[in-house]
Amino acid sequence: MVEKAVSDSQALLFVLSGPSGVGKDTILSELLKTDLKIRKCVTYTTRSPRPTEIDGVDYKFITLEEFNRLKEEGAFLEWAEVGGNFYATPKDFVEEKLKNGEDVILKIDVQGAMRVKELFPNAILIFIAPPSLEELRQRMEKRGTPPEEIERRLKIAEREMDMAKHYQFLIVNNELLETVEKVYRIIKEAQNKRDAGRESAAK
Ligand code: 5GP
């Protein structure tokens, strides 16, 4: 059974969530530049790529038809609709990596995170919050997000912030490098703890 193989491998599953514009992508890309041994899971989306985004690197960009077909085939670990677009985590990737003992990090929304928590009760959930909603508004304005889109995303952000209580860790992103350092430490400590447990079991 996959579940048994995954738990035997003792690989760790981390989830990073937070409102749009909070800096999750930058935090994750900075984390991946460090010495952390962790695999990022590239997820599916039906939304169009942003100018800087690369298919297969940032997301697997697919049509709604492909999304529905993959959903039917049971290819998703979880899926969610966020702001009118569909997103999903590939089941095979996560299960295979965990089974092989590789730690995985998912950057997904709060609905997906709650589903992952049900499927993997040991998953480590980290929520990144903005210093304030006003700060989030300013960040989106700087990014050139259209005003009506800002209002819509702020409403979603408010609802998402309410879900932060279900996460083990809440980090307020006041300063990027400080936040990266904090997430790094959470991951490293969990890995060290797991490794120490393995060593003492081997003695
Ligand atoms: P964006 O369109 O800004 O890249 O992402 C919108 C939201 O969808 C973000 O909160 C992002 O973390 C989330 N997201 C990305 N991939 C997935 C996924 O596979 N599943 C779920 N549930 N959310 C995702």
The class that CATH gives domain 13-202 is alpha beta
Q: Which residue owns the Cα nearest ligand 1 atom 15?
A: 108
Closest by CA to 10, choosing from 195, 200, 202, is 195
- Ligand 1 neighbourhood includes 179 CB (under 6 angstroms): no
CA–CA distance, 177 with 170 (Å, rounded to integer): 16
Do residues 77 and 116 lie in contact, with contact meaning Cβ atoms separated by under 8 Å? yes
Domain boundaries, the chain: 13-202
Per-residue pLDDT tens listing for the chain (203 residues): 566 667 778 999 999 999 988 999 999 999 999 999 999 999 999 999 988 899 999 999 999 999 999 999 999 999 999 988 999 999 999 999 999 999 999 999 999 999 999 999 999 999 999 999 999 999 889 888 889 989 988 999 999 999 999 999 999 999 999 999 999 999 999 999 999 988 888 87
Q: Which two tokens stand for residue 23?
A: 């800096």
Q: Which two tokens stand for residue 145?
A: 């997000």
Closest by CA to 12, choosing from 166, 122, 170, is 122
Residue type, 7: S
* Residue in the structure block whose two tokens are 């996460």: 167
Which of 62, 109, 127 best tests ligand 1's pocket when mutated (most atoms within 8 Å of CB)?
Answer: 109
